[in-house]
């Protein structure tokens, strides 16, 4: 499986991931996604934005994703854009 390097921008995943940190993900090709995993995906409102969030729920090939930052204003996540389709997932963080 192909590896994807992503640099974190912003504080939505703080304190787990910090601004400027580089992470490595495994390209998503249909493997099982589980609650608690961190995924890299195309933002549903802007396909040019790549986002990184934690899976909080999985239902019918859709994901509820959320940032780790306890400040609710620090993250644009499923609270803002709803459930995410599996097709939007690019990679799963190792």
What pLDDT score was predicted for residue 28? Answer: 97
7 in helix, strand or coil?
A: strand
Which pLDDT value is given to residue 5? 95
Q: How far apart are CA 20 and CA 32, in angstroms?
A: 28
Give 1-19 pLDDT, tens digit per residue: 799 999 999 999 999 999 9
Q: Which pLDDT does position 72 carry in this prediction? A: 86
- What's the domain range around 62? 3-93
Cα(2)–Cα(11) distance, integer angstroms:
27
| Tens digits of residue pLDDT in 37-94 | 999 999 999 889 999 999 999 999 999 999 999 998 898 999 999 999 999 999 999 8
For the stretch 14-36, pLDDT in tens is: 999 999 999 999 999 999 999 99
The CATH number of residue 8's host domain is 2.10.109.10
The structural domain count of the chain equals 1
């Amino acid at each position: 499986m192909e590896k994807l390097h992503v640099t974190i921008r912003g504080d939505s995943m703080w304190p787990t991931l910090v601004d400027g940190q580089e992470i490595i993900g495994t390209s998503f090709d249909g493997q099982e996604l589980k609650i608690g995993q961190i995924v890299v995906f195309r933002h549903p409102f802007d396909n040019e934005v790549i986002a990184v969030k934690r899976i909080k729920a999985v239902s019918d090939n859709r994901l509820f994703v959320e940032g780790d930052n306890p400040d609710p204003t620090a993250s644009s996540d499923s609270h803002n854009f709803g459930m995410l389709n599996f097709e939007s997932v690019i990679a799963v963080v190792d």
